[in-house]
Chains A and B, each alone.
Chain A
């Protein structure tokens, strides 16, 4: 845990450093007439200082107490399931314009339900169909918000 916290501190320090480096490429001006880079430069420096303070605090602690995150409540295999869930959602975004909204919504729901362990075939088809149809009617027909039509042209 302590190693992870140290990595976090270093990453945040580097984020601050990156902001400073990019800000220096912009006009800084003076405090009287600040350029576009001055404010982000100040923020980058503050982030670096805070990250240093965080790292110093970690190094000064005699022993690691662990952290108060939520990892303790995770169940076995949950991380893989979560990654699949997230990956399926990302895949749906890739297919959004190609397949169109109704088909993507149907396939995404089908995939996500399956990933989370729904096995009954009737539900696996009915639920995605109803969701895709319902959301299509709400957004496209009722709210008149255009969504990608894709292959099926709906």
Chain B
């Protein structure tokens, strides 16, 4: 533990260099803009800005990309409070009480509590990471291919189950992602698969093109479908002097922030869209333990403080499975995994020892990044809000141009742009037909790892599938998978039984 603290201080030394501070600031600002603007989310934002980091060393690059991630999560809350429009899905809960506070003239305290809550939760999460990551990495060294395979299967099922849509549809998307991931070189035998004699497909499907297409282009096209009126009429921008929360606000929020941080940190460690689940869980917890639960939804500060703290803590603890196991549990961390690999850093149990500068530098930069966001967001709220005045009819072409240009710069390939457009059209249709793109993207990124783990496991066991059930850790993951698969069936049965009982009661 002492060693971890020492390493963290070394990390602060790395993160606090002028260059890294600059990239952290750039990432936080870019992320805030991405979070505020409609038409771009954190996934497309990170994917688009990967090419910008090509000339940087891995530590600076990942610091900047991480800054975009948590900056975007923060920016999303600003639009939730000022406009009742969540910048991304994790901010939906903040709309409920945040916008009501703004309507009552308390937009300033709501935004300030968001910033303070996020900073506090981020700080606690950094310490949680420092103490949890090294022992978890040690434990992960004992993981063999069967454990990794079962963990990845569990991750898919959980993600598919909690994204809100149909489980079958999400599972089909995950399988399609895995199939797309098999295009190119077979990672075990070195043979080519599904390349159709084209040189473009020899190196596999470019995941950045899929990410920008499914999340960037599809979002732009979906926005073109919607009314294009400006949003400025609904913006409730506070004045700078109104930004400070009262002592009572701080006192009321204190407990909610701590509880939110705890919930968020825990949820971030498990597979699934952690920030979304964490904000919802925190809101429900606050409502349940409150002395005035009926006031929730009318502009209660705990309804903003708890979820925002949970959101930030979940974002940060989601880096633990990514760094320690090398397995992302959600699309934004999947994109970051891709970025890490582009920069020659392979996350996993050995990352702490092989790339301590990246690992501890990035963790320390998260703390610094949160502080930057705290400083940046409070005084500049009116500026960020004014960005929302850019008409959609100007913004959408800009985003489209940036997607096309950004995609070209990854490999200087026109084929990548075609693939991105194709994925954009597919993503648009998927939205229309209520198919979730997140399982597809995640499956594409971790599919090759999953295949290798599957084949290595069977090689080790001489073709015996029992290897996945004989090893305790693997068995635990598979039991969890089964429970998550069975959950919808249980829910359905309970509903049917309940309906049957009501009918009997009604007729009797």
Chain A residues proximal to chain B, CB less than 8 Å: 4-5, 8, 12, 15-16, 19, 22, 26-27, 30-40, 43-44, 46-47, 50-51, 53-54, 57, 67-71, 73-75, 78-79, 81-82, 85-86, 89-90, 92-93, 96-97, 101, 105, 108-109, 112-113, 116-118, 127, 131, 135, 139, 143-147
Q: Which of B165, B404, B414 makes the CB contact (< 8 A) with A68?
A: B165
Using A15-B176, A118-B393 as known contacts, say yes or no to A96 and B417 having CB atoms under 8 A apart.
yes
Nearest residue (CB) in B for A44 is: B179
CA gap between A88 and B425 in the complex, in Å: 13
Q: Number of B residues whose C-beta is below 8 Å from A?
A: 61
Check B431 against A69 for contact (C-beta < 8 Å).
yes
Extra inter-chain contacts (8) besides given A43-B179, A82-B225, CB under 8 Å: A34-B188, A40-B179, A51-B172, A67-B433, A70-B222, A81-B224, A85-B220, A116-B396
B201 CB–A CB distance under 8 Å: no
Residues of A within 8 A of B176 (CB): 12, 15, 47
B247 CB–A CB distance under 8 Å: no
Nearest residue (CB) in B for A112 is: B397
Check A43 against B175 for contact (C-beta < 8 Å).
yes
B490 CB–A CB distance under 8 Å: no
Residues of A within 8 A of B421 (CB): 86, 89-90, 93
18 contacts between A and B (CB under 8 A): A22-B194, A26-B193, A30-B463, A31-B465, A34-B455, A36-B193, A44-B179, A53-B168, A69-B432, A74-B226, A75-B226, A86-B424, A93-B404, A93-B414, A108-B397, A108-B400, A109-B398, A146-B412
Chain B residues proximal to chain A, CB less than 8 Å: 51-52, 54-55, 165, 168-169, 171-172, 175-176, 178-179, 182, 186, 188-189, 191, 193-194, 220-222, 224-228, 392-394, 396-398, 400-402, 404-405, 408-409, 412, 414, 417-418, 421, 424-425, 428, 431-434, 451, 454-455, 458-459, 462-463, 465
Q: Distance in Å from the Cβ of B324 to the closest Cβ of chain A?
A: 26
Residues of B within 8 A of A68 (CB): 165, 434
CA gap between A117 and B225 in the complex, in Å: 13
CA gap between A26 and B195 in the complex, in Å: 12
Using A22-B194, A116-B228, A118-B394 as known contacts, say yes or no to A31 and B458 having CB atoms under 8 A apart.
yes
Main secondary structure of the interface of A (DSSP, over half): helix
